Amino acid sequence: MRIAFLVAPEGVEQVELTEPWQAVVEAGHTPRLVSTGPGRVQAFDHLDKADTFEVDQAVADATTAEYEALVLPGGVANPDFLRTDADAVSFAREFFQAGKPVAAICHAPWLLVEADVVRGRTLTSWPSLHTDIRNAGGTWVDTQVQICGDGPNTLITSRKPDDLKAFGEAFLTEFDRAAQS
C-alpha cells in the first residue's frame, strides 16, 4: 500500500512525521513524502529546528490515484502553510472525494477545515482547533484517537504527540480495512 504523507516545506512536527512513517514501514507499506515543492522539508521539535527530509513528490504532480491513503502530520506552522496552498487543499479534498482514508494529528485538521471536509464528521485535534472544527460543521471531541466512518472514506484523528502510538495503530488498522473493502 502506498501512503502519502503531505507536509509543508517547513514546520512539520518531526515526531508526528517520523513515528507514523516508521509505523507504515514496519507494517510493510510504502510511505512517500509529498510537499508543495521539491527539495527538502525542515521539521521542527516544537519551536526548534530538527532534521530535514527529502521530498519524494511535489503535490502539484501528485494524484490520489497513486495512493491508497493519506497521513497529515501536525505542527502549528505545517497545516497553516498547507491550507494556503491550493494544490495541497485540493489533494486532501480529493482523498475524501475518492473515498480513501485520511489520518490527521494535532494541528493537521486545519487543512481539512480549509478543504471543507469536516462537515458532519466527528474528530479530535490539538484543543485550540475545536472552535475552527465546530465552525466548519464538525463535532470536536477530546479523545486520544477518533475514528469517523467505516471502511473507505474513514477519517482517523488524534490530538498530540503523546497519542502517537494509539494513532499509528488506529490508522494502520483502518487503512488495511479500507484496502480490503
Per-residue pLDDT of the chain (181 residues; tens, 9 = 90+): 999 999 999 999 999 999 999 999 999 999 999 999 999 999 999 999 999 999 999 999 999 999 999 999 999 999 999 999 999 999 999 999 999 999 999 999 999 999 999 999 999 999 999 999 999 999 999 999 999 997 668 999 999 999 999 999 999 999 999 988 8
pLDDT of residue 180: 87
pLDDT of residue 151: 63
Catalogue the active-site residues.
106
pLDDT of residue 130: 97
Integer Cα distance of 130 and 109 in angstroms:
10
pLDDT of residue 181: 80
Give the number of domains in the chain.
1
pLDDT of residue 153: 82
Give the amino acid at 102. Answer: V
The CATH number assigned to the domain holding 170 equals 3.40.50.880
The domain containing residue 35 runs over which residues?
A: 2-180
Distances (CA, A) of 159 to 37, 60, 148: 27, 28, 14
The structure's pTM equals 0.97
- E-assigned strand segments in the chain: 2-7, 10-13, 30-35, 40-45, 48-54, 57-58, 69-72, 102-105, 122-123, 139-140, 145-148, 155-158
pLDDT of residue 150: 72
